[in-house]
Amino acid sequence: MDIEQYAKMSPQYYSRYVPRILEQQLLRNNGEGNFLDCGCGDGAILYASKRKGLLIRKKVFAVDFSTTR
């Protein structure tokens, strides 16, 4: 199955869940710095991180191979 077929068949579900280890890393250095989400899909982790205030003072980069996502 190619990546575009997968994107259409497997929707993402948004929540406020951020994996603990990721949350700890985002809080390091007083929350400042860069954040790169490789394979971000439609942004579920970015959405949850922003809702929890973890991306304040961060420069965010998000990439995915799928144009659908």
What does residue 23 show for φ and ψ, rounded to 5 degrees?
-60, -45
The rounded distance, in Å, linking the Cα atoms of 39 and 51 is 20
Tokens of 66: 């799928």
Q: CB atoms < 10 A from the CB of 23, how many?
A: 14
Nearest Cα to Cα of residue 31 among 54, 61, 52: 54
Range 35-57 average pLDDT: 91
Predicted confidence (pLDDT) per residue in 47-56, tens digit: 999 999 999 9
Residues 12-40 have a mean pLDDT of 87
